[in-house]
Amino acid sequence: MKCILIEKHGEDIDKLLTLAQDHPKPIRKKGEVLIQVQACALAPGDIRVLKGHCDYFQAPRSFPYIPGGDISGIVQEADENSRFHKGDACLAMFESPRPLDGLAEYACVKESLVEWRPASISPAAAACLTSSALFAFRAVQHVKTGSRVLILGGSGGVGTFLIQLARNAGASYIATTSTDEQLCHFLGADYVINYKKKNFWDIPAFQKDPFDLIFDLGVGRYDAWKHAKDSKILKNGWNSGKYITANGDEPEMIIHNLWQTLRFVSGVFGRVAWTALWRWDPSYIVLSSGLEVTPGIFQDLTQLVEEKKLQVVFHPSKMPFKLDLESVKRGFHIMNERAGHGKVVIHISK
pLDDT-based confidence at residue 254 (cuts at 50, 70, 90): confident
Q: Say yes or no: 110 and 219 in one domain.
A: no
Residue 84 and residue 57 share a domain: yes
Burial letters for 168-206: b for 16+ Cβ neighbours within 10 Å, e otherwise? eeebebbbbbbebbebbeebbbbbbbebeeeebbebeeb
Average pLDDT over residues 26-54: 96
Tell me, yes or no, whether 92 and 193 share the same domain: no
CA-to-CA dists, residue 323 to 80, 109, 273, angstroms: 32, 20, 45
Domain for residue 48, yes or no? yes
In which domain, by residue range, is 47 found? 3-128+314-347
Same domain for 141 and 118, yes or no, is: no
Q: What is the pTM of this model?
A: 0.95
Q: How many domains does the chain have?
A: 2
Mean pLDDT, the chain, as a whole number? Answer: 94
Q: Would 295 be classed as within a structural domain?
A: no
Instruction: State how far the Cα of 328 lies from the Cα of 93, in Å rounded to an integer.
Output: 19
- Same domain, yes or no, for 108 and 142? no
Let me know whether 79 and 106 are in one domain: yes
CATH of the domain at 113: 3.90.180.10
Task: Report the alpha-carbon distance of residue 177 to residue 192 in Å, rounded.
Answer: 6
Can you give the pLDDT at residue 347? Answer: 97
Q: What is the pLDDT of residue 262?
A: 86
The verdict on residue 309 lying in a domain is: no
| Number of neighbouring beta carbons within 10 Å of residue 298 | 25
CB atoms within 10 A of CB 207: 12
Residue 218 pLDDT grade (very low, low, confident, very high; cuts 50, 70, 90): confident
User: For position 254, which CATH number holds?
Assistant: 3.40.50.720
Quick one: 329 and 214 in the same domain? no
Residues 184, 75, single domain; the answer is no
Same domain, 198 and 88: no
